[in-house]
Amino acid sequence: MDILTALKQERTRLQGQLRGVEGAIVALNGSHPAVSRAKIASHNRVNRKRTMSAEGRARISKLTKARWAKFRAEKAKKSK
């Protein structure tokens, strides 16, 4: 039983060292491991087009128009 516990602790220690070595390799290569994983994952996914409801588009349009109107009103007020 003690041998099994000791082996698990050794495995944990070695995994930590491995992560450190991999981090050093990544730092020297100048790339980030998440980017490469993301590229790999994107090849396995089905590309689905994101759609938005008409209600959502209308709400965003309304808010954007209000934001621009406010911006133009403040700009006109400053120029007077």
Each residue of 23-76: pLDDT tens digit? 888 888 876 555 555 555 556 667 778 889 999 999 999 999 999 999 999 999
Rounded to the nearest 5°, which phi and psi values hold at 4?
Answer: -60, -45
Nearest in space to 10 (alpha carbons), one of 2, 39, 71: 2
Contacts of 32 (CB under 8 A, 6+ apart): 26
| pLDDT on residue 68 | 96
> What pLDDT is stored for residue 72 in this prediction?
95
**pTM of the entire predicted model:** 0.38
pLDDT at 32: 59
